Amino acid sequence: MTYKALSALAALFFTSFVLANDLEIITVSATPIKASDAGSAISIISKEDIQERNAVTLHGLFREIPGFAVSQQGSLGSVGQLRVRGAEANQVLVMLNGIELNDPAQGSEFDLSQMSTSDIERIEIIRGPQSALWGSDAMAGVINIITSPQEDLDAFSIGVFGGSFSTSQLVLSANKSMQNGAIKFSADRLRSNGTNISRQGDEDDGLENLTFGVTGDYSTMETLNLRYTARFTDKKSEFDDTDYISTGLPVDADFWTKSRYFYSGVSLEHEVNEKIDQSISFGYTDTDNTTRSSSPTNSIARATKNALRYQLNFYEKNNTFSLLAEVESEEFEQRGPVSFFGDPNRDESQDTNSLAVEYRYDTSDFHLSASARYDGNKDFKDSSSWRVTSVVERSGKTYYGSIGTSVKNPSFSERFGFFTNFFGNPNLKPEQSLHWEIGIRGSFFSDDIGVSATYFNADLKDEINGFVYDPMTGGFTSSNIEDSSERSGLELEASYRFMEAWNLKATYTYLDASQESSSSEVREVRRPMHSGAIALKRTVSNAGTSLVISYTGEQVDDFFPPYPPYQEKVDLKPFTTVDIAGYLNISEKLSVNGRVGNIFDKRYEQVYGYVSPGIECHIGLRLHW
């Protein structure tokens, strides 16, 4: 397959990038470019990183990424949110091999707890506004999780893992190489009794998660390539009730949510000639969430999303021009018991037709890109977004900057959602953002030292507050905020390779995310002003170990007491966790790995009232042939 055939926008199949190595090819625009040519801050989590960290889900991996703030409501399997550069959790687009994972039935967010890391090849992250190419959900960035098969490899593996809280995991994987492509099958069964996530009581909240996946890559000829992905997850997670009478805090209860996720996609790429290539792709998302709580009957939220995309690319010397057309359709279904707050039962739909263009100019030391997108939507006013990036390379250093606008449409949940003490607002307006960044990356003093620094600033208008108290009903609803919200900060990342086998990496984020009010500025919730991590890793031919120290600074959160004023800001204390992990390849066919998380048994809360687990240990064996 030729270089240009990699350019399919919907597939978004990245290749790995390591800090201080600018020769790798990545996709941050409509067509592939070198990492050094990107006008955005980029982070990569490689398969080796995942193996050394031994993190079961995505939470542990994302804590080391600059600009990321992770919030989880308790133990393994509890709802996990990710905020990027101070943006809300539904303002970052998460993809699997180019298929959108954001759940239209759950506020257009992606729940970090639903996905195991067992079959992930790498994760590629682009921070900053990406709506000009990727649409409404990409206001703060794009994350692409890659599970693609490996070419020229016939392999089968089985892994058995166990640990604290009666956690067990069985992982199966098969990779088959063919003459013109490869295919990969995977299965993962994860169970845990969990821990007690409330401050009182002793009832544990557990998890059951079963996942099947298949990915494939097939070339019928040198100029034609087919890629396909399918993934099914069946998850049941337990959670607690809230004491609405006396404390307003979580209290033991036998509640649960059953979720089913099905994602599938196919893309066909065709190189017409040396100067023209094209691609067409289709992505499908189907989610089903059933919740058992204090209501007499279960609450159900379902959604489907269909996205059809076509892209045409033209190449002429230093110039590249790309045209994208996209048709997206979403359907939302909600069922639940009628109550004092109203009738939750409704069926809604939303269609969006989009056109986008991108122009790139590339020389050996200067790179310029400009992109724009138009979205036609029958439910909201038609919108447009744009983005411009520039990169200059001098003396081994890369100086980059970008500026762009983004539009985030209200989610079905914000408009029509209905659950305990909450009802949606169908009159919401889309959120609008202007975001810019400047940065530098490269090697300093030697090729073994890599440094990246980025300053960013975003101004958000018509921000949607999803928890506005309504004194008329005594419940909460969503509402656009009149004043603007500003997010600015600094992201630092450095790595140092020494003595061949050792690598030291440090990250730090300063974030100022605040909402203007008539009298003062109010900090946005669950966004630490200071956060960072230090990771020391050692890798030899048959083994690897890691020591990771993660720090999350003081945060604020919303608390809803059952007494006036019914909503107030509370502090979340800063905390530091230390994790150690490693693996050993005993032979070509047998490996062992282990992890001890939070080794000093630190007690902390990422969401007010929800207690995170203490020290946790896991060990496993993997057999492959």
pLDDT of residue 27: 56
Mapping DSSP onto H, E and C, the string for 585-602 reads: ECCCCEEEEEEEECCCCC
Instruction: Quote the CA–CA distance of 187 and 368 in Å, as a whole number.
Output: 43
Contact 580, 85 (CB under 8 A): no
Contact 570, 556 (CB under 8 A): yes
- 472 token code pair: 């008329």
Pick from 126, 134, 145: which is nearest to 400 by CA? 126
Radius of gyration of the chain (CA): 24
pLDDT of residue 25: 59
Element (H, E) at 198: none
Burial class (CB in 10 A: 0-12, 13-18, 19+), 499: exposed
Strand extents, DSSP E, 11-67: 25-26, 33-34, 42-46
pLDDT of residue 26: 63
Instruction: Quote the CA–CA distance of 158 and 605 in Å, as a whole number.
Output: 35
Residue 1, amino acid: M
Mapping DSSP onto H, E and C, the string for 300-335 reads: EEEEEEEEEEEEEEEEECCEEEEEEEEEEEEEEEEE
pLDDT of residue 341: 66
Residue 166, amino acid: S
Contact 603, 197 (CB under 8 A): no
Beta bridge partners of 404: 387, 435
CA distances from 212 to 112, 155, 179, 233, 538 (A): 17, 17, 25, 7, 32
pLDDT of residue 2: 40
pLDDT of residue 142: 93
pLDDT of residue 17: 31
CB atoms closer than 10 angstroms to residue 73: 24
Which residue shows structure tokens 């308790």?
Answer: 74
Instruction: Quote the CA–CA distance of 2 and 16 in Å, as a whole number.
Output: 18
Question: Nearest 10 degrees: CA dihedral of 616, 156, 544, 500?
Answer: -160
Q: Which residues contact 191 (CB under 8 A, 6 or more apart)?
A: 166, 167, 168, 169, 206, 207, 208, 209
Q: Which residues of 417-452 are buried (b: 16+ CB within 10 A; e: fewer)?
A: bbbbbbbbbeebebbbbebbbbbebbbeeeeebbbb
Predicted TM-score (pTM) of the model is 0.92
For 150, the 3-state DSSP assignment is: coil
Contact 226, 217 (CB under 8 A): yes
476-480 own/partner pairs: CB under 8 Å, 24+ apart: 476/421, 476/422, 476/423, 476/560, 477/422, 477/423, 477/424, 477/425, 478/410, 478/414, 478/415, 478/417, 478/424, 478/425, 478/428, 479/425, 479/428, 480/428, 480/429, 480/431
DSSP assignment of 543-612: EEEEEEEEEE--EEEEE--SSTTS-EEEEE--EEEEEEEEEEE-SSSEEEEEEEESTT----EEETTEEP
Q: Which residues of 109-139 are buried (b: 16+ CB within 10 A; e: fewer)?
A: bbbbbbbbbbbbbbbbbbbbbbbbbbbbbbb
Contact 556, 569 (CB under 8 A): yes
CA distances from 607 to 289, 529, 562, 620 (A): 22, 16, 18, 30
Element (H, E) at 132: helix 131-134
Instruction: Quote the CA–CA distance of 368 and 37 in Å, as a whole number.
Output: 9
| 35 phi, psi to nearest 5 deg | -60, -35
Domain architecture of the chain: domains with CATH? 4-624 (2.40.170.20)
pLDDT of residue 519: 67
Which residue shows structure tokens 């998460």?
Answer: 94
Q: Which residues contact 492 (CB under 8 A, 6 or more apart)?
A: 66, 451, 452, 453, 506, 507, 508, 509
pLDDT of residue 157: 94
Q: Which residues contact 179 (CB under 8 A, 6 or more apart)?
A: none
| 18 phi, psi to nearest 5 deg | -115, 135
pLDDT of residue 7: 37
| Ranges of the chain with pLDDT below 70 | 1-29, 341, 419-420, 518-519
In this predicted model, what pLDDT tens digit does every residue of 67-121 receive, in sequence order?
Answer: 999 999 988 888 999 999 999 999 999 999 989 999 999 999 999 999 999 999 9
